[in-house]
Structure 1
């Protein structure tokens, strides 16, 4: 049975406290370990520099623009298909009336 990350941390802190470690010290260690892990992960992703926040904001804006353009393209395509279908129906009806 696997325990979630928060539950494991709480269990380890409780175990350390039961074995004589100071609770504040254990929490401090856990906090520092979390900071170190987050910093390492950001560094590996290339997001540890000062401009990373701006870069991510620009990427989000670019992604939003791409999604908007894609949605608009699909809407135009659907409109074009509907116009062609309606044109074909009108042409069929027009030919039937002329016979």
Structure 2
């Protein structure tokens, strides 16, 4: 990104050296950037008035997905931990002869 800014600055300096007005060159660069951004948004389908609302809803949906994924992982690790604890207890019971105590 900084390389692109350097190229733009070099082009502006070159045009200014050839006699172009710096304010005009900066205005042209700004307009070109805005036009490019508008075209890119239109190609992505985000050029209409409802795009901001759509992006907000998408961000909200993505946040909900991340929360659900985090909760599912937390629950899965909790269950795995409980199962390991139960296996350790069963192993200790067998090792200590607990089945003999039941008779």
Same fold (TM over 0.5): yes
The residue aligned with 1:59 is 58
Unaligned runs of 5+ in 1: none
- With a CA cutoff of 8 Å and minimum separation of 6, indicate the structure with the bigger relative contact order: 1
Structure 2 distance, partners of 1:34, 1:96, is 74
Aligned structure 1 segments of 4 or more residues deviating by more than 3 angstroms: none
Q: Confirm whether residue 81 of structure 1 aligns to residue 80 of structure 2.
A: yes
Structure 1-normalised TM-score? 0.93
Matched length: 97
Q: CA RMSD in A?
A: 1.1
Structure 2-normalised TM-score? 0.90
Structure 1 distance, partners of 2:95, 2:14, is 86
Instruction: Give the structure with higher Rg (CA).
Output: 2
Structure 2 distance, partners of 1:56, 1:43, is 14
Matched residue SS, 1:4 = helix
Alignment of 1:1-99 (within 5 A): 4-98=3-97
Structure 1 distance, partners of 2:92, 2:81, is 16
Instruction: Tell me by how many angstroms 1:7 deviates.
Output: 0.7
Unaligned runs of 5+ in 2: none
Structure 2 distance, partners of 1:38, 1:93, is 66
